[in-house]
């Protein structure tokens, strides 16, 4: 029930903020990020057992990215990259084990389908995949509610909608009754907390009628870091010049102005350790991926880490590789067969280019404070954003208006 109330409250707030939208102004933005959703959970990415008509419709009317990569395989670093357009290591996000006159940006961050799972009564028992499947179906319903509201407010034609996940599914989650509460990575290997494709290849669906082509599929490597510069350019704002921005404006690629995107290299971190590198050479269809270390799965014949509940990237839970494991994702997207000098004539030359790119990338990094240390993540009341007084701590007039709206929605 809490999910239904939350989505209705959000839609009501959207209604208050956008009642008199002007179609001639700069675009609006609606971003929907599901937590721990697997790319294989969605019908538009191949799932045949979960019904998701709203997300499927969003895909048919928009652009689908098939190699959309999360900048990190864990929640906080991935979201930090999405919000800043930068690798999370640049901003210290890693662990050491309105009004109607202005365009709006709505970032709807789903609680689902992270653990502990829940589904509202209307969705319980409706899927073939237990509580997890029920929750995914509820996510689809929520997407539909947001899209219907945009249409009702005549905002659909002037709004860029982006739907994604923060990383791959949490495969090791099992309920006390033995029910699997994890998602599905499709054909891709492993899941959350790993830099195998199942951990970082995420849904990437962008919808903007009349601006983006309907039903287009793009196979170029892209990143959730690309949303930040895309929004800045569409909003007429300047890209910050005082820091490195790792993302690139997606619009030329989405509209077909270019066929190749700007990500020649992508650097995949596991916390503060560089785990893998992806290289998409110019004038080549190859997508090389080199692993410097990989997590030790348990059981060994699985692609998950049930002994630690989630895969770790510290000794003794990883295996280092010298030379690195090398794959060509254009031929082996499942990462099932590592290449060798005997099977790939370019083996050493590819690794040489990747190592040079790593050195160049390392030179661009500057030491920063760790933002997710215990001292940083403890709740600090004095940092609570509010306009309150001592007698009414963190209580604002706007809060009363929102509470009134929520009560009205609950009565309906």
Domain parsing of the chain, residue ranges: 2-92+99-378, 379-412
Residue with tokens 């892209």: 222
Q: How far apart are CA 183 and CA 47, in angstroms?
A: 11
Q: Which CATH number fits domain 2-92+99-378: 3.40.720.10, 3.40.50.2300, 3.20.20.70, 2.60.120.260?
A: 3.40.720.10
In this predicted structure, the answer to whether residue 174 has a pLDDT above a threshold of 70 is yes
H or E, element range at 265: strand 265-270
Joined together, the tokens standing for residue 226 give 């690309």
Buried b (16+ CB within 10 A) or exposed e, 196-218: bbbbbbbbbbbbbeebbeeeeeb
Mean per-residue pLDDT for 29-37? 95
The pLDDT value given to residue 97? 43
Query: Residue 350: which residues within 8 A CB-CB, separation 6 or more?
Result: 279, 288, 290, 326, 344
What DSSP state is assigned to residue 333?
T
Q: What pLDDT sits at residue 379?
A: 74
Query: Looking at residue 377, what is its pLDDT?
Result: 73
Contacts of 108 by beta carbon, 8 Å cutoff, 6+ apart: 10, 30, 31, 32, 33, 142, 146
pTM to 2 decimals? 0.85
How do strand 216-223 and strand 201-207 relate by DSSP bridges?
A: unpaired
Residue 18 scores a pLDDT above 60: no
Assess whether pLDDT exceeds 60 at residue 22: no
* Residue 138 contacts residue 111 (beta carbons within 8 Å): no
280-287: long-range contacts (C-beta < 8 A, 24 or more apart)?
280/220, 280/221, 281/353, 285/330, 286/328, 286/330, 287/67, 287/221, 287/328, 287/329, 287/330
Does the pLDDT of residue 395 top 70, yes or no? Answer: no
Higher-pLDDT residue of 394 and 263 is: 263
């Amino acid at each position: 029930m809490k999910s239904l109330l939350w989505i209705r409250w959000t839609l009501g707030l959207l209604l208050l903020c956008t009642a008199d939208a002007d179609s001639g102004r700069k675009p609006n933005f609606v971003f929907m990020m599901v937590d721990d959703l697997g790319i294989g959970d969605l019908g538009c990415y191949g799932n045949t057992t979960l019904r998701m008509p709203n997300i499927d419709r969003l895909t048919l009317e928009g652009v689908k990215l098939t190699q959309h990569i999360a900048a990190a395989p864990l929640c906080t670093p991935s979201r930090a990259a999405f919000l800043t357009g930068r690798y999370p290591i640049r901003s210290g996000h890693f662990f050491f084990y309105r009004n109607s006159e202005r365009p709006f940006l709505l970032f709807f961050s789903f609680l689902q389908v992270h653990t502990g799972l829940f589904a509202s009564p209307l969705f319980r028992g409706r899927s073939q995949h237990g509580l997890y499947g029920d929750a995914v179906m509820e996510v689809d319903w929520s997407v539909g509610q947001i899209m219907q509201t945009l249409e009702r407010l005549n905002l659909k034609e002037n709004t860029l909608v982006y739907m994604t996940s923060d990383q791959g599914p949490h495969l090791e989650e099992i309920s006390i009754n033995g029910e699997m509460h994890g998602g599905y990575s499709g054909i891709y290997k492993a899941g959350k907390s790993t830099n195998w494709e199942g951990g970082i290849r995420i849904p990437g669906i962008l919808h903007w009628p009349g601006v983006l082509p309907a039903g287009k599929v793009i196979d170029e490597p892209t990143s959730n870091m690309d949303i930040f510069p895309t929004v800045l350019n569409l909003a007429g704002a300047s890209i910050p010049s005082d820091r490195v921005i790792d993302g690139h404006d997606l619009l030329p690629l989405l509209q077909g102005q270019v066929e190749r995107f700007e990500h020649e290299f992508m650097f995949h971190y596991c916390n503060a350790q560089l785990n893998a590198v992806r290289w998409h050479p110019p004038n080549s269809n190859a997508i090389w991926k080199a692993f410097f270390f990989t997590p030790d799965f348990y059981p060994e014949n699985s692609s998950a880490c049930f002994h630690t509940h989630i895969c770790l990237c510290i000794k003794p839970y990883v295996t280092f590789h010298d030379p690195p494991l090398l794959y060509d994702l254009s031929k082996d997207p499942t990462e099932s067969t590592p290449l060798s000098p005997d099977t790939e004539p370019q083996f050493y030359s590819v690794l040489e280019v990747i190592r040079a790119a790593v050195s160049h990338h390392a030179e661009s990094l500057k030491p920063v404070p760790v933002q997710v240390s215990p001292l940083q993540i403890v709740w600090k009341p004095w940092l609570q954003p509010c306009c309150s007084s001592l007698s009414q701590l963190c209580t604002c007039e706007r809060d009363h208006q929102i509470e009134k709206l929520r009560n009205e929605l609950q009565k309906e």
